[in-house]
Structure 1
Amino acid sequence: MSYPYQIKSLEQYKEAYKQSVDNPDLFWGNIGGYFQWKRRWEKVLEWNFTEPKIEWYKGAKLNITENCLDRHLKTLANTPAIIWEPNDPEEHHRVITYKDLYTKVCQFANVLKSNGVKKGDRVCIYMGMIPELAIAVLACARIGAIHSVIFGGFSAQSIADRLYDAQAEYIVTCDGAYRGAKDIPLKSVIDDALIGNRTVKRVIVCTRTRTAVSMIKGRDVWWEDEVKKVETLGLVDCPAEEMDAEDPLFILYTSGSTGKPKGVVHACAGYMVYTNYTFVNVFQYQRGDIHFCTADIGWITGHSYIVYGPLSAGGTSLMFEGIPTWPDAGRFWDIIDKFKVNILYTAPTAIRSLMGFGLGPLQGKNLSSLKILGTVGEPINEEAWHWYDEHIGKKKCPIVDTWWQTETGGILISNLAGVTLAKPSWATLPMPGVQPILVDENGKEVTEKEDGLYKGNLCIKAPWPSTIRTTYGDHERCKKNYFSTYENLYFTGDGALKDEEGNYRITGRVDDVLNVSGHRIGTAEVENAINMHAGVVESAVVGYPHDIKGQGIYAYVIFQGSHGDEAMRRKDILQTVTRIIGAIAKPDKIQFVSGLPKTRSGKIMRRILRKIAEGETQNLGDTTTLLDPGVVEEIKNGKI
């Protein structure tokens, strides 16, 4: 089966783009017609960015799982929906057909219901990359529960904060998870997160590592036992809950410029249509292709391009439990060879890391099945782009350089594989329905070029179907973060360049948020964690260029007390950050200082700290407004 809405030429792209801007109701109404609805919409789009209030397919009723599962059963029942490759290459992989997946999702949906989960309840999912994670996500959607997946690398404190914010009453987890050479004790982290928690009623635990765990009577139950119970009751099918188009589908927490993570909320209908549309078009997906997205489902990339996008398109999604460098740096290439993968979608961080191992790990690996390559998470540098093109794609696979965010739900700017032109390290053209604009600090559109390019802060003028709807429990925060900086615009927080042809190149964050290995981490969040250490008086965190991660975390710390030497203090601070946020937020460099560059009003001049961290020590700008300009010299001399 082909997709009638798949763009096949540059002319078609231009036509689609023009119609999507001139008449979005007609354009997205036509695309919506290819999905299964319980009731059609009264109006395609109603919106204003002031409140903000954004409604797509208003009045429609649906369930996203009927579009991901039920509608494929007649024609694709025996087609693989998910291929799962375990962490250990010696362990056997699993192939789950659409029929199998439908059965397992209905089964686990009945487990959730029998444990008291109802429409609108929040279910926190904290699992390793096993098929049961995708099954749990879809089972929540099946019964109208709101899932909130938390990446398996977050600490107990981070989980506790998210549980509290979402007021989650249910948790689905595993005894443990495998990740490379590590065993991660997921259930014991959940136990720590639940100390003092008064809202969680039930923890469902899936067996993976067979590690010893504490199971509390009345609260903790085994996944496998619960499945047996519903089987005994003869509960096979589970009717899909009727959802309103604007009902929340999930909450996904992301870092902001303040210390508190914010719960991004996506709605059922618009998110479904947009992830499907972008998956089919950006990757030029053909029925039967094997799509290997290497992300974790704990991040938005996994939600949109491992689960919902591919499955709503009747695609085959490959899920990998491990990491690209274990048991050796040839693991991705082994997987591509083994399953004859057609599309590889990964992060520039992974590409740069694998480049460092040279071409040895590629020897003897057959990558000829590859048709399309993709990158996600951060802008890809030209050197990595050319290595990916030459050694992985053999110069015959288009590379799609996709730009988007947790808040956007799906890809906003990208070339379409083999249809629109690629430009190394440029995201290129916006997707149909996406209207970018570059503005200056005052919100005025940039009309003058600098060095032949337009340069400014990247905003979007109108909603696309998977626009963020709110931040959970705090709509004012959503408004302040995304819709208040510039009037009537969605502000992405990123800077960008634009060329004469309308191609965009993302230059990175312009707010106090770092992009580390494609994951956003707020500087305030890291500072709060560092400041929790007993010996720390104050800290300031900035980003600096990192060869592998893209951006590294550089911390300037004022430390009081004589406990341990500098090396020991660094280790203690890293342990504190790991305990409070997770290892993902650990600073790469910690410099101990006696003071920080502050204005007379007490504001830390991070601009100066950023320049020093980047190795720029001469042109630091005006320092005369600082309370103590002498502190800058000391910081420069002590740079790590």
Structure 2
Amino acid sequence: MTATTRAPAAAPASRYWDVYAAWKADPQTFWGEAAKGLDWFEQPKTVFDEKLGVYGRWFPDGVCNTCYNAIDRHVAAGRGDQDAIIYDSPVTGTKDRITYAQLQHKVATFAAVLAEFGVGKGDRVIVYMPMIPEAAIAMYACARLGAIHSVVFGGFASKELATRINDAKPKLIVTASCGIEPNRVVPYKPLLDEAINLAAHKPETCIVFARPQATAKLTEGRDYDWASEVAKAEAAGKKADCVPVKATDPLYILYTSGTTGIPKGVVRDNGGHMVALHWTMSNLYGIKPGEVYWAASDVGWVVGHSYIVYAPLLAGCTTIIYEGKPVGTPDAGAFWRVVSEYKVAALFTAPTAFRAIKKEDPDAKLLADYDVKCMHTLFLAGERADPDTVMWAERILGVPVVDHWWQTETGWAIAGNPVGLGLLPIKPGSPTVAMPGYDVQVVDEACHPVAVNKMGSIVIKLPLPPGCLPTLWQQDDRFDDSYLHEFPGYYKTADAGFVDEDGYLYIMGRTDDIINVAGHRLSTGGMEEVLASHPAVAECAVIGIKDELKGEVPCGFVVLKAGVTKKPIDIENEIVKLVRDKIGPVAAFKIAITVNRLPKTRSGKILRGTMKKIADGDNWTMPATIDDPGILDEIAEQMKSHGVGA
């Protein structure tokens, strides 16, 4: 089945169907027109060349600079006094605003510092930073020089950082003295020193941004203080100009979360990346130049790259860098304060953030303290948005809640509800329809299309659109084997789902999360919807665990809302009955376990794979991206108390 085959009969006046049809009829003209919205040193004459790269390359004869398009061209157009970055750090009590003109000066100066240390076009720079403006400044400084940045989440374990150092082989690393969590300071320098000690490749230079919360010991001859080097460059009047690069030259490498051994470095090119992101800001997100856009993520993840650092500035908007949490900094009203204080037009966050807010403040009492009428849309992505959370957010905010689906590899939404083209009817549980550029299909194991409403593997017909990965860093064969080999002519998303009669797409989980219960293929995502519908449940996860008789059986984990007084055993029994009533005996759902919290990555994704290994009694290792390592021991004990994983 193909997504977006036709408009539903009751569709309102949205331009989406016409725009999608125009892209499909003539992709080259579509993306060629989109490219005209940006400035090029040499305008591309060729939009797409299928003979280049693994599956073709976009704008191969174009010459550009991403930093110029995100910063310099707006200053030249008279936007210099507009805020480019708002920094808000409840964990330090710090706030700041940086205009486009100020950002241009800071980036050009820091780029000159990098150049003094020998960084040039094609060199790699690892950025190992917390959520502070200097992280974005370092990224843009690399882009200005034509260097390739690779951002590694601040505080990432030394061993995993070392694998990325070995793979990217950076000439220079930019870091800070520490990151700050709500209840602790995390010194970065000891982690970085250990990573460099473990790595076979040794960077020539490290530049350290000193924060007052921790002092970093500098290694003589290798480590330099950010502020001192910037001061020297400013005293000498040194600034770096934007270096012209090919559209096909890499802008950055981003390693997929959780990879160990030889990591998978997703490559993003300059030209296709900026064209795609620029198109999304007005067409998908419905954001106008000058508006404030907030992606509540981290620069270490793809959302941070695409929608904190690059897309908002490419579109002439103001972006927010927020160093805090949805709850606990100081309470579950943290997001409402930021939206109200900075007049945020659209908020983009992960469903898990809203589940955390809902758990702490289920009646949204804290929302009454803030005026959030400025916000016209809430966007959710990063993990499946369960209908209960979507409807709760819609009810308390009174704005459209738009789920959209994408991956680190794609860099922007595969499917969404295009606010800028006219909102389509929202169906909770669906990220709506495929975006122009993506021919999304649902197929069986032989790559044959499946029927409407039948679950299968979700694939994208090649070529992938601009902005998606052209390959993995120095691993073309692995790229082909990982993504293109299983379904020839298609990109494998490794997600499973179905398309309904209106062409709406439903993502039911990773293909690994489709469990086989006595010969029946069942979606854990569908079961999670049922669990989430229970009034006492704040968030949940379902995994398949080994069973001698049925092959696999589902096991559910639930976190209860604050203030729930009913006994956990009673709620667990109610949940088992709920699944039986709504899905049927075929689900063989008999185990529900109440837990205090779910193990997650720092980006908010639930570690279902690790939970499954614990439940099955398999060997497992502590995931490098886990937010709180101690939680897995808690989960294991709670499993044992229910006869699971013992």
Q: TM-score normalized by structure 1?
A: 0.80
- Matched with 2:430 is 426
CA distance in 1, matches of 2:180, 2:642: 42
Counterpart Cα distance in 2 of 1:99 and 1:443: 52
Instruction: Measure how far apart 1:261 and its partner are.
Output: 2.7
Structure 1 residue aligned with 2:102: 100
Q: 1:554 and 2:611 equivalent?
A: yes
After superposition, the C-alpha distances for 1:530-551 in whole angstroms (9 at most, x for unaligned) are: xxxxxxxxxxxx9965656655
2:185 and 2:213 in contact (8 A); partners too: no
2:622 to 565, 572, 577: 577
- The verdict on how the C-alpha distance between 1:284 and 1:592 changes in structure 2, with shifts beyond 3 A counting, is closer
Measure how far apart 1:266 and its partner are: 0.7
TM-superposition CA deviations, 1:563-605 (whole Å, max 9, x none): xxxxxxx9xx99x727x66546777368889xxxxxxxxxxxx
1:182 is displaced (CA, Å) by 2.0
Could you tell me which residue of structure 1 aligns to residue 20 of structure 2?
Answer: 17
Partner of 1:476: 477
Aligned to 1:627: none
Q: Name the aligned partner's letter for residue 40 of structure 1.
A: Q
Corresponding residue for residue 353 of structure 1: 356
Q: Which residue of 2 aligns with 1:124?
A: 126
- 1:371 is aligned to 2:416: no
Q: Offset at 1:275?
A: 1.1
Alignment match, 1:385: 390
Taking the aligned partners of 1:145 and 1:107, their CA distance within structure 2 comes to 15
CA distance in structure 2 between the partners assigned to 1:83 and 1:316 by the alignment:
7
Per the TM alignment, residue 210 of structure 1 is displaced from its structure 2 partner at its CA by 4.1
Q: In the aligned structure 2, how far is the partner of 1:372 from the partner of 1:491?
A: 30
Distance across 2 between alignment mates of 1:81 and 1:591: 43
CA contact (8 A) 2:288 2:315 kept: no
Does the 8 A contact of 2:23 with 2:436 survive in 1?
yes
Deviations 1:15-55 (A, max 9, x none): 21111111111111011111100112131012279x72321
Contact 2:65–2:143 under 8 Å retained in 1: yes
Match of 2:632 in 1: 588
Matches of 2:433 and 2:146, distance apart in 1: 35
- Alpha-carbon separation, structure 2, partners of 1:234 and 1:257: 42
SS at match of 1:76: coil
Determine if contact 1:577/1:583 at 8 Å carries over to the other structure: no
- 1:404-483 matches, within 5 Å, as 404-417=406-419, 419-446=423-450, 448-449=451-452, 453-462=453-462, 463-483=464-484
For the Cα contact (< 8 Å) 1:81–1:96, is it kept in 2?
A: yes
- Once the two structures are aligned, what percentage of the paired residues are identical? 33
| Structure 1 residue 194 displacement after superposition | 1.1
Distance 2:615 2:408 in 1: 34
- Could you tell me which amino acid in structure 1 is paired with residue 622 of structure 2? V
Paired residue type of 1:224: A
AA matched with 2:208: V
- 1:490-501 equivalences under 5 Å are 490-501=491-502
What CA distance in whole angstroms lies between the structure 2 residues aligned with 1:340 and 1:212? 35
- CA RMSD of the aligned region, Å? 3.1
Distance in 2 between the 1:274 and 1:308 partners? 11
Structure 1 unaligned spans of 5+ = 1-7, 517-522, 524-541, 561-569, 594-611, 614-633
Cα separation, 1, equivalents of 2:444 and 2:214: 55
- CA distance, structure 2, for counterparts of residue 10 and residue 87 of structure 1: 42
Distance change in 2, residues 1:635/1:87 (3 Å): closer
Stretches of structure 2 that go unaligned for 5 or more consecutive residues are 1-10, 515-523, 529-542, 544-553, 560-597, 599-604
| Runs of 4 or more above 3 Å deviation | 8-11, 255-260, 511-516, 542-553, 555-560, 580-593, 634-640
**Closer, same or farther in 2 for the Cα pair 1:162/1:512, shift >3 Å?**
farther
Q: Name the SS for the 1:403 alignment partner.
A: coil
Letter in 1 for 2:373: S
1:133 aligns with 2:135: yes
**Aligned-residue offset at 1:199:** 2.4
Answer whether contact 2:89 2:324 (CA < 8 A) is retained: yes
Query: Deviations along 1:388-436, whole A, 9 cap, x unmatched?
Result: 1111x2x2x2222110001001111000225222211210111112110
Give the secondary-structure state (helix, strand or coil) at the position aligned to 1:437. strand
Which moves more between the two structures, 150-159 or 104-113? Answer: 150-159
Does the CA contact (< 8 Å) of 2:125 and 2:148 recur in 1?
yes
Determine the structure 1 residue equivalent to 2:324.
Answer: 322
Q: Residue 26 of structure 1 aligns with which residue?
A: 29
- Match of 1:278, as an amino acid? T
Distance 1:314-1:558 versus aligned 2 partners, 3 A rule: closer
Q: Cα–Cα, structure 1 residues 592 and 19, in superposed 2: closer, same or farther, change >3 Å?
A: closer
Q: Cα distance 1:38–1:507, how it changes in 2: closer, same or farther (>3 A)? A: same
1:279–1:166 Cα change, 3 Å: same
For the residues of structure 1 that align with 2:51 and 2:449, how far apart are their CA atoms?
Answer: 20
Q: Does the CA contact (< 8 Å) of 2:85 and 2:97 recur in 1? A: yes
Residues 153 and 584, structure 1, Cα contact 8 Å, conserved in 2: no
Is 2:254–2:267's contact at 8 Å kept on the other side of the alignment?
yes
- CA change 1:379–1:472 in 2 (3 A) is same
Any conservation in 2 of the 1:203–1:219 contact (CA below 8 Å)? Answer: yes
Helix, strand or coil at the partner of 1:327: coil
Range moving further from structure 2, 546-555 or 180-189: 546-555
Task: Spell out the pairing of 1:214-229 with structure 2 (5 A cutoff).
Answer: 214-229=217-232
Write the distance in 1 (CA, Å) between the matches of 2:59 and 2:630.
42
Is residue 2:117 matched to residue 1:72? no
Q: Do the aligned residues in 1 keep the contact of 2:155 with 2:191 (CA within 8 Å)?
A: no
Name the SS of the counterpart of 1:577 in structure 2: coil
Which residue type is aligned with residue 421 of structure 1? Answer: P
How many residues are paired up?
549
- Does the CA-based 8 Å contact 1:554-1:589 persist in structure 2? no
Q: Is the 8 A contact 1:123 1:147 kept in 2?
A: yes
Higher mean displacement: 357-366 or 175-184: 357-366
Q: CA deviation at 1:558?
A: 11
In structure 1, what is the Cα distance between the partners aligned to 2:22 and 2:616? 59
CA distance in 1, matches of 2:141, 2:430: 38
| Rounded Cα–Cα distance in structure 2 between residues aligned with 1:501 and 1:357 | 36
**Which secondary structure state, in structure 1, belongs to the residue aligned with residue 15 of structure 2?**
helix
Q: Which position in structure 1 is the counterpart of 2:487?
A: 486
Matches within 5 A, 1:185-334: 185-197=187-199, 198-236=201-239, 238-255=240-257, 260-325=262-327, 326-334=329-337
Contact 1:173 1:205 (8 Å CA) reproduced? yes
Matches of 1:496 and 1:555, distance apart in 2: 21
Displacement after TM superposition at 1:637 (Å): 4.1
Alpha carbons 1:324, 1:350 under 8 Å: kept: yes
Per-residue CA deviations over 1:170-193 (Å, capped at 9, x if unaligned) read 100000112222211112211111
Query: 1:190-212, CA deviations, whole angstroms, 9 ceiling, x for partnerless residues?
Result: 11111144421100001223412
Q: Is the 8 A contact 2:159 2:198 kept in 1?
A: no
Tell whether the 8 Å contact from 2:615 to 2:645 is kept in structure 1 after alignment: no
Moved more, 293-302 or 51-60: 51-60
The answer on whether the counterparts of 1:256 and 1:262 sit within 8 Å (CA) in structure 2 is no
The Cα shift of 1:471 comes to 1.0
1:531 corresponding residue in structure 2? none
Residue 15 of structure 1 aligns to which amino acid in structure 2?
Answer: D
When residues 69 and 591 of structure 1 are mapped into structure 2, their CA distance, relative to the original with a 3 A threshold, is closer
CA pair 380-159 structure 1, distance change in 2 beyond 3 A: same
Per the normalisation by structure 2, the TM-score is 0.79
Return 328-337 or 484-493, whichever deviates more. 328-337
Name the amino acid aligned to 1:152. G
Distance 1:215-1:24 versus aligned 2 partners, 3 A rule: same
User: Which amino acid in the other structure matches residue 229 of structure 2?
Assistant: E
Q: Which residue of 1 aligns with 2:50?
A: 47
* Counterparts of residues 102-181 of structure 1 (less than 5 Å): 102-181=104-183
